[in-house]
Structure 1
């Protein structure tokens, strides 16, 4: 699903995405509320939900950050990828905190956009080194304190040696493919390990895992 209040932007992104044989835009929305309404209708009609929602940040009615937060709560199986024309950290961190799996500028090249959508759909997070560094720097001033995160630290002992190894590589910002090459295992095995790790630690996504692992390492 492509969500943008500008019709030209929606059409342009849809055309770019549909150039890939393995990607297809199944819905377009004019703002965050429209996206939520369409997802609800799809679910009510028992039709397939999109794997990934490309969400513009600055929109009327309901902005992208608020929409991402609601999608994360109401449709946890749907991944979101934030898009904006503004290269400002606050937009990126607002989207990531709300539950987005990544953040891209609208002028991202076609191949990179395709790759990002595939990565997010497979469970990866799109975090550039600069965004990752700043995310960790900001979080350093707000140490883990929530009951959920404290419980996650305790459950870390439940991870197998392989799962702990994968978790540490995720914390370094490596993608599933990069982890697979590093450990000389199949990418599918990495995906399964990441899924089990998130479930055992009761974490929403890889972004939370990155923060948690760095917090634990710094203690």
Structure 2
């Protein structure tokens, strides 16, 4: 488990993969990415939990590890990257965690960004934000190389956003089989992609009660229709679904403008 000092402005990265050949390859790519600094490469989830707990204790200025990136293989022996990622967020809520795997799956995307998982029993004294946190990225192993890793780091660490591999989004768009959103649905989706709440969307779209206050009922109906259109399952109040909806809509706009790209 090599641990290295990082250069200023570089993003510290921890890689966890129980396949030595894959682990070594990803670690080398991280080392070749100028914006990243390989901090550790691990093969066991328990080692990752212990390391993050130790780092949190050592990082007096940033005990929640803001600005750190963890890359996790989806399959890790008897456990998986999703479970490990959520465990790590219980220890360090500001970590940015990206799952990578071989296959493009929209169902898996929903699981990665899902928020409504309960807090673990042994995490009662930790930051409660972790119990409501989804992971931050879905990458494909075949695409991992320095430029790709830089894009991931920029999206999830620098911009504090989310990352979904374009191939995953193309997989979704192919499933739509040429279907189109209605103008009202598209207007609502565009406002969601801007980060507006349902109340704000209702005002923008002119859904008002008699006294001019926002009427969110029609917006909630439109949002439900959008989740159905983009095949985004999950609990109605889960904010992770809004993340996916924003990503899916932005991909849909590009496809609608140039469907030949698929």
TM-score by length of 2: 0.49
Return closer, same or farther for 1:22/1:153 CA change in 2, 3 Å cut-off: same
The structure richer in helix per residue is 1
Matched, 1:119 2:155: yes
Conserved in 2, the CA contact under 8 Å of 1:51 and 1:79? yes
1:106 pairs with 138, 141, 144, which one?
141
The structure richer in strand per residue is 2
Equivalent position of 2:106 in the other structure:
89
- Pairwise CA RMSD of aligned residues? 3.7
Conserved in 2, the CA contact under 8 Å of 1:31 and 1:61? no
Conserved in 2, the CA contact under 8 Å of 1:3 and 1:32? yes
Instruction: Compute the displacement of 1:90 (Å).
Output: 3.3
In 2, the alpha carbon distance for the partners of 1:132 and 1:74 equals 33
The 5 Å alignment of 1:187-198 reads none
Instruction: Compute the displacement of 1:61 (Å).
Output: 4.1
CA deviation vs aligned residue, 1:50-79 (integer Å, no higher than 9, x gap): 611111111124311111222233312101
Conserved in 2, the CA contact under 8 Å of 1:36 and 1:71? yes
Equivalent position of 1:18 in the other structure:
31
Structure 1 residues not aligned, in runs of 5+: 135-151, 158-202, 215-219
Return closer, same or farther for 1:46/1:116 CA change in 2, 3 Å cut-off: closer
In 1, the alpha carbon distance for the partners of 2:239 and 2:93 equals 9
- DSSP 3-state at the match of 2:99: strand
- DSSP 3-state at the match of 2:37: coil
Return closer, same or farther for 1:155/1:30 CA change in 2, 3 Å cut-off: farther
Conserved in 2, the CA contact under 8 Å of 1:116 and 1:126? yes
Q: For this pair of structures, how many residues does the alignment match?
A: 158
Return closer, same or farther for 1:156/1:76 CA change in 2, 3 Å cut-off: farther
Equivalent position of 2:41 in the other structure:
28
In 1, the alpha carbon distance for the partners of 2:144 and 2:51 equals 28
Equivalent position of 2:81 in the other structure:
64
Return closer, same or farther for 1:156/1:51 CA change in 2, 3 Å cut-off: farther
Equivalent position of 1:53 in the other structure:
70
Structure 2 residues not aligned, in runs of 5+: 1-13, 116-133, 175-196, 203-237, 249-262
CA deviation vs aligned residue, 1:76-127 (integer Å, no higher than 9, x gap): 2101111012333333332222622111111105222221122211212113
TM-score by length of 1: 0.58
